[in-house]
Amino acid sequence: MRLIGWMSVSLVAACLALSACDSGDKVDTSKLEKSFSTSQPAAKSAVDDVKSAVSAKDYAKAGAALQRLAASGNLTPDQRQAVEDVSAQMRKLVEQQAKDAAKAGEKALGDVQKRLSN
């Protein structure tokens, strides 16, 4: 019975991990890069941090870099809009991944319960 319990936990973990994988959605940082192309080195560095974090799907790190940009002050309207747009894209993507993971987890638990009842 313990083996089945551990297999169930493993199955749920695998489903959650798979559902968090690339679903084809991307965060477009091109407008952000363009709007900061002539900025100070610190701002350009933060944009590079956002871009590399987004590529690595490390949205927490990307969010922190976006907060640094937003807090830096003296942003042009285009820069402010670009920061807001990338933040919104990431938020939407993370929300969708969380929903997908919850659905996959519910399905996996349902499948395990069915197997245990048989």
Cβ(50)–Cβ(62) below 8 Å: yes
Q: pLDDT at position 90, please?
A: 94
Query: Residue 72: pLDDT above 80?
Result: yes
- How much is the average pLDDT of 97-110? 91
The burial of 87, by beta-carbon neighbours within 10 Å (0-12 exposed, 13-18 middle, 19 or more buried), is given as buried
What number is the average pLDDT over the span 90-103? 92
Q: Is the pLDDT of residue 5 over 70?
A: no
pLDDT of residue 12: 44
pLDDT of residue 18: 44
Could you read off the pLDDT of 14-63 as tens digits, one per residue?
Answer: 444 444 445 556 899 999 999 999 999 999 999 999 999 999 999 999 99
pLDDT in tens, 80-96: 999 999 999 999 999 99
Q: Please tell me the total count of domains within the chain.
A: 1
Rounded CA-CA distance 69/44 in Å is 9
**What CA–CA distance (Å, rounded) separates 105 from 83?**
33
| Domain hosting residue 46, numbered range | 2-117
Residue 64 has pLDDT above 90, yes or no: yes
